[in-house]
Amino acid sequence: MVKRALQRLFYLAAFILLFGLTCSLLSSPRLEKLFYPFHYREEILAAAAEQQIDPLLIAAVIQAESGFREDAVSAEGARGLMQLLPSTARWIAERRGESDFHPDKLFDPRYNIAAGSWYLADLLRQFHGSKVIALAAYNGGRGRVQRWLEEEIWDGSEAGLEQIPFSETRAFVRRVLDNYRRYRRLYGKME
């Protein structure tokens, strides 16, 4: 009986120790950076500087969109790190004065980050710097989001995300904002 009680106590102590170590490791910034990497740092910093937006917001979008996989393709056909649809990318290329656009360019990290960052910055300008609204437009389309705001379907706030009619857009905005907060905590303020 005493032996069994000691055995249980040993297992409990071992569990508590293991649980504590696991929690400690999981909250470690080094380990967390494995799940929230900052790949393509040079390309992101260059695009962020050119577009005058926070590089960590770009990283947060990339993490949500592709998990930093440059060859990612969505079911809808969005391509690359920032998951741009070829039609959107063609529109971006026209606005940027490019005459040699081809959808395969979206698999080039430098090009994808530059184009996606331009688009994100354009949305931020249109929506007066609101990250929440710009992210909703990045996913759901600027025209739709403009309509939701004008028709008071959505108030444009993070607190009001449940008002967004598309669950995918709600989830995307939440995921990017969560990523953004993590990136700021892990990599510091970079604006």
Q: How far is C-alpha 28 from the chain's CA centre?
A: 21
Q: Is 65 a catalytic residue?
A: yes
Which entry of 32, 43, 50, 65 is annotated as an active-site residue? 65
DSSP 154-191: --S-STTGGG-S-HHHHHHHHHHHHHHHHHHHHH----
Which residues contact residue 25 at a Cβ distance below 8 angstroms, ignoring those fewer than 6 apart?
A: 31
* CB atoms inside a 10 Å sphere around CB 90: 15
Contact (CB, 8 A) for 37 and 68: yes
d(CA 31, CA 158): 28
**Which long-range contacts link 62-69 to residues 24+ away (Cβ below 8 Å)?**
62/113, 62/116, 63/36, 63/37, 63/179, 63/183, 64/172, 64/175, 64/176, 64/179, 68/37, 68/39, 68/40
Q: Annotated active-site positions, please?
A: 65
